[in-house]
Amino acid sequence: MAADSPDIRVGTAEREQAMARLSDHFAAGRLSMAEFDERSGVVAGAVTRGDLAKVFVDLPEPVVAAPVPAAPVQRPGPPSGLVFPAIGVAVALAVVLFLATHLWFWFLLIPVIALARVGRSPNERERRRQARRGRRRGH
């Protein structure tokens, strides 16, 4: 018996593939609801490849679309060179103010300054620069 003989028995995987193809044809509008229901019953009860082939006799072969490449993901660059010196200044300032006033809340300056320096992405900064330039030119 040849490997592509219509008398070869099919398994669950082949029936599921046939149902997926049938669903694609239904989604494309090639089948009415009644035809889809009828053919789904035939696919579910199919025992051989010939039983499955009868379902697709009047339907075109599936067209495999070329994969569309995904757009590159823009990741924010590394923090600017001024972030770490700014954090160092914030720590020194917080320590000096703590020693001078004996109030602990000066240490809250450290994350505030860090967030102010790192919080903006380079792309956002560039967009803002472009917008300012456009306003100056009168656009």
The pLDDT of residue 76 is: 59
Q: Please report which helix (H) or strand (E) contains residue 23, including its range.
A: helix 12-27
Cα distances (Å, whole numbers) of residue 138 to 66, 128, 129, 132, 133: 46, 15, 14, 10, 9
The pLDDT of residue 125 is: 66
pLDDT tens digits, the chain, 139 residues: what are they?
A: 566 788 889 999 999 999 999 998 988 888 899 999 999 999 999 999 999 889 889 888 866 666 767 767 666 555 555 556 777 788 888 888 888 898 888 888 778 877 776 665 556 667 777 777 777 766 5
The CA-CA-CA angle for residues 98, 101, 103, to 5°, reads: 60
